């Protein structure tokens, strides 16, 4: 009978191998594009067998896993529970909360910029990835709506705002393609992009008016 600690050790090693495969796949997709990256390339760079790679998933599954890994940066938690947002979220300073949100989004965009381009390439030829992309975008919009709704409920944002409309505008402004346009193509620094996004976000999500009326936008 195997010793009791064998199973946890094997599980930990399997998880480590899976993580390495996903991260290597993400790097290769980002460097070479979706079509040019093969599972054999992933196996070679991850230093595992091809069978081990296919056990993690095919190319579509690896792309989706790599994207989520890059977005989460090791913290697969709800938005407000992330270590880089939670401290500000626990307080009542709207400016600090929005600054933490924008900082996370900007850094996330920096990590996923090339992967987003790979996904855009792949979804044109793969209905599965096209549907997954649409679901991911809907999830981003819903997360934004829930974020603004909670801020309104806490009395930190003007109660007259439309959370869904704000979420859509923030989603459009913070979308990875905006980062690609302004940083990759226009030559902005990541810091300039972050400052630009923060300025737009502060105007987009107004605090309650001191007089009790709606804040002008």
DSSP string, 71-130: HHTT--S-GGGSTTTHHHHTSS-HHHHHHHHHHHHHHHHHHHHHHHHHHHHHHTT-HHHH
Q: Do 116 and 25 share a structural domain?
A: no
CATH number at residue 57: 1.10.10
Query: What pLDDT is attached to residue 8?
Result: 81
CATH number of the domain enclosing 180: 1.10.357.10
pLDDT of residue 13: 86
The pLDDT score that the predictor gives to residue 67 is: 93
Question: What is the percentage of the chain residues whose pLDDT exceeds 90?
Answer: 80
What is the pLDDT confidence band of residue 214, given thresholds at 50, 70 and 90?
A: very low
Q: Name the one residue in this structure whose structure tokens are 């599980």.
A: 11
Residues 42-59: tens digit of each pLDDT:
999 999 999 999 999 999
* pLDDT for the residue 215: 41
Residues 107 and 185 in one domain: yes
The angle subtended at Cα 182 by Cα 189 and Cα 197, nearest 5°, is 80
Per residue in 5-26, pLDDT tens? Answer: 567 888 888 889 999 999 999 9
Do 122 and 166 meet the contact criterion of CB atoms below 8 Å apart?
A: no
In the DSSP assignment, the letter for residue 217 is: -
In a shared domain, residues 155 and 197? yes
Do residues 67 and 78 share a domain? no
Residues 188 and 214 in one domain: yes
pLDDT > 90? residue 201: yes
Of 17, 49, 71, the residue at which a domain comes to its end is 71
Co-location of 106 and 43 in the same domain: no
- Predicted confidence at residue 210, as pLDDT, reads 43
What is the average pLDDT score of the chain?
A: 90
The region of weakest confidence among 7-11, 30-34, 97-101, 168-172 is 7-11
Range 170-187 average pLDDT: 95
pLDDT digits 0-9 by tens, 116-129: 999 999 999 999 99
Task: Quote the tokens at residue 188.
Answer: 């902005």
Domain boundary (71, 101, 127) is at: 71
Alpha-carbon distance of 98 to 198, in angstroms, equals: 7
Q: Which of helix, strand or coil describes residue 140?
A: helix
pTM reported for the whole predicted model: 0.83
Compute how many other C-beta atoms are within 10 angstroms of the C-beta atom of residue 180: 18
> 151 pLDDT exceeds 60?
yes
| Residues 53 and 88 both lie in one domain | no
Domain that holds residue 11: 1-71
151 plus 129 within the same structural domain: yes
| C-alpha–C-alpha distance, residues 189 and 184, integer Å | 9
Tell me: do 192 and 210 sit in the same domain: yes
- Identify whether residues 59 and 79 lie together within a single domain: no
Among 71, 89, 112, the domain boundary falls at 71
Are residues 139 and 60 both part of a single domain? no
Domain count of the fold of the chain = 2
pLDDT band per the 50, 70, 90 thresholds, residue 213: very low
Same domain, 66 and 83: no
Q: How far is CA 38 from the centre of its chain?
A: 24
Distance between CA atoms of 143 and 190, rounded to whole angstroms? 23
Q: By the 8 A CB rule, do 12 and 18 touch?
A: no
């Amino acid at each position: 009978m195997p010793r009791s600690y064998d199973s946890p050790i094997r599980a930990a090693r399997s998880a480590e191998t899976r993580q390495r495969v996903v991260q290597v796949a993400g790097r290769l997709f980002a460097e070479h594009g979706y079509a040019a990256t093969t599972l054999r390339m992933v196996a070679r760079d991850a230093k595992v067998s091809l069978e081990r790679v296919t056990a993690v998933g095919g190319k579509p599954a690896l792309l989706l896993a790599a994207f989520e890994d890059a977005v989460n940066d090791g913290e697969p938690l709800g938005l407000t529970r992330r270590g880089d947002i939670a401290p500000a979220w626990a307080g009542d300073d709207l400016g600090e909360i929005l600054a933490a949100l924008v900082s996370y989004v900007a850094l996330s965009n920096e990590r996923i910029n090339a992967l987003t381009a790979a996904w855009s390439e792949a979804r044109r030829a793969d209905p599965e990835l096209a549907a997954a992309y649409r679901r991911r975008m809907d999830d981003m919009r819903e997360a934004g709506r829930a974020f603004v709704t909670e801020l309104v409920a806490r009395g930190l944002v003007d109660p007259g705002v439309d959370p869904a409309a704000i979420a859509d505008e923030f989603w459009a402004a913070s979308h990875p393609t905006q980062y690609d346009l302004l940083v990759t193509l226009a030559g902005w620094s990541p810091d300039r992009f972050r400052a630009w996004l923060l300025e737009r976000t502060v105007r987009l999500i107004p605090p309650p008016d001191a007089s009790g009326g709606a804040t002008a936008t």
